[in-house]
């Protein structure tokens, strides 16, 4: 695959290009968020800076402001009417055309509780001292778990929350995470395009992995080639590449960086690869075998691909995740094989819902204009053997792949 950059976005006076969204996309998002705010009787949403979990905890700020894609810290006060107010870096950044008003942090970046104090001052200026204020990251992503799926206790700092409460003693504070989760769950066409580019970046990393792999190859060097392939094409850091490697019977547990070892004959390497474009992530999953492996190992790759393809073909608005779980596992009747469907939302952060082994969202229906990674895992005689994963967008006529690689390809190196 060619390594030329994937170029899109606005250019500044120095010729630098940044992926950005249109004002129409801004208005779509803000309108949807404010619709949800009215339903919950919320006067303002506030979000403080939080770049944890590979930048995913900053997703609500990025969604509302289009700022923070270089892992910079920003906060926002987003009232139900009027212009949002952004706090953080004082100089201009790409995407600033969304924002009319910006303020510096009270006391500067290193002052104690500066984010909470600054946000509280903005809310007082907006005459919202007695209002209901929704705070991003105060708790989990609601019963549907459309966001913050791996952060059920939230991520807003204690000092920030304490400063808000002290600065606004008459305000009522509620959690904004479910509001932003529902807004972010259904994607606009521009968002889907960003996820598609992210998926393209992930495919570049996969091809780089295979090209760098052979018996004796040093695993960190393979990983470096994958990151290089994404960065050369304009990808965003931080990103996630999970890594499972070792003999088929005793591979290491899932890690998010490789261990210091060399590939051996009889190994498998199973990866979850995210590609990020301005923070939006597409993902693929693939399993590669090395050298001399039993026939069933490569057969399981084919079964995993069949399960992924069958699940994608079954996705349509209104189908339940429980029904998709059944489709995924019924592509084979072999008593030696168990198939476990995993599906996770794609987007700007720790998106959901997450369909895992225990099935808490089995009765939830798929919606149009959502995006997921579909990645059934094949277990052979009780141990993990293969996974093929692909990112899709759900349209009225069903699911469409955002990647282009052949799902049924046998990834094998000698």
Local confidence band at 337 (pLDDT 50, 70, 90 cut-offs):
very high
pLDDT digits (tens, 9 = 90+) for 346-376: 999 889 899 985 557 889 999 999 999 999 9
Average pLDDT over residues 211-235: 97
Residue 79 has pLDDT above 90, yes or no: yes
CA–CA distances in Å: residue 246 to residues 151, 227, 290, 338, 339? 30, 21, 10, 21, 21
Do residues 282 and 196 make contact, with C-beta atoms less than 8 angstroms apart?
yes
Q: What is the pLDDT of residue 61?
A: 93
Domains defined along the chain, listed by start:
10-185 (3.40.350.10), 189-413 (3.90.230.10)
What is the C-alpha to C-alpha distance for residues 252 and 265, in angstroms, rounded to an integer? 15
Q: What is the pLDDT of residue 373?
A: 98
Do residues 243 and 269 make contact, with C-beta atoms less than 8 angstroms apart?
yes
Q: What is the pLDDT of residue 4?
A: 39
pLDDT digits (tens, 9 = 90+) for 114-170: 899 999 999 999 999 999 999 999 987 777 788 888 887 888 989 999 999 999 999
Q: What is the pLDDT of residue 266?
A: 95
pLDDT digits (tens, 9 = 90+) for 283-295: 999 999 999 999 9
What is the C-alpha to C-alpha distance for residues 21 and 35, in angstroms, rounded to an integer? 21
Q: What is the pLDDT of residue 357?
A: 57
């Amino acid at each position: 695959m060619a390594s030329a950059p994937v170029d899109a976005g606005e250019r500044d006076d120095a010729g630098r290009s940044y992926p950005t969204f249109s004002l129409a996309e801004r208005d779509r998002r803000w309108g949807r968020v404010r619709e949800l705010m009215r339903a919950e009787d919320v006067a303002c949403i506030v979000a403080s800076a939080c770049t944890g979990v590979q930048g995913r905890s900053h997703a609500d700020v990025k969604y509302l402001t289009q700022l923070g894609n270089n892992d910079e810290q920003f906060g926002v006060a987003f009232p139900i009417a009027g212009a949002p107010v952004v706090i953080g870096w004082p100089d201009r950044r790409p995407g600033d055309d969304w924002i009319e008003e910006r303020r510096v942090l009270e006391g500067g970046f290193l002052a104690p509780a500066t984010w909470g104090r600054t946000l509280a001052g903005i809310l007082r200026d907006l005459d919202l001292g007695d209002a209901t204020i929704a705070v991003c990251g105060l708790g989990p992503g609601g019963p549907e778990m459309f966001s913050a799926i791996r952060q059920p206790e939230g991520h807003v700092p204690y000092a920030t929350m304490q400063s808000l409460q002290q600065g606004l003693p008459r305000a009522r504070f509620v959690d904004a995470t479910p509001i932003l989760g529902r807004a972010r769950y259904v994607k606009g066409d521009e968002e889907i395009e960003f996820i598609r580019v992210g998926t393209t970046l992930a495919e570049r990393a996969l091809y780089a992995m295979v090209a760098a792999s052979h018996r004796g190859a040093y695993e960190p060097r393979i990983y470096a080639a994958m990151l290089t392939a994404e960065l050369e094409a304009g990808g965003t850091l931080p990103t996630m590449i999970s890594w499972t490697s070792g003999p088929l019977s005793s591979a290491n547990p899932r890690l998010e960086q490789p261990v210091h070892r060399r590939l051996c004959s009889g190994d498998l390497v199973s990866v979850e690869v995210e590609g990020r474009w301005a923070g939006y992530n597409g993902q693929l999953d693939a399993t590669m075998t090395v050298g001399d492996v039993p026939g069933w190992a490569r057969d399981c790759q084919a079964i995993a691909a069949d399960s992924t393809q069958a699940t994608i073909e079954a996705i349509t608005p209104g189908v339940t995740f429980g029904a998709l779980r059944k489709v995924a596992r019924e592509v084979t009747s072999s008593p030696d094989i168990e198939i476990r469907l995993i599906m996770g939302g794609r987007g700007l952060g720790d998106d959901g819902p997450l369909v895992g082994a225990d099935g808490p969202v089995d009765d939830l229906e798929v919606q149009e204009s959502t995006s997921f990674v579909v990645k059934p895992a094949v277990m052979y005689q009780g141990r993990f053997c293969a996974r093929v994963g692909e990112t899709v967008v759900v349209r009225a006529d069903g699911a469409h792949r955002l990647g282009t690689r052949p799902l049924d390809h046998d990834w094998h190196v000698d």
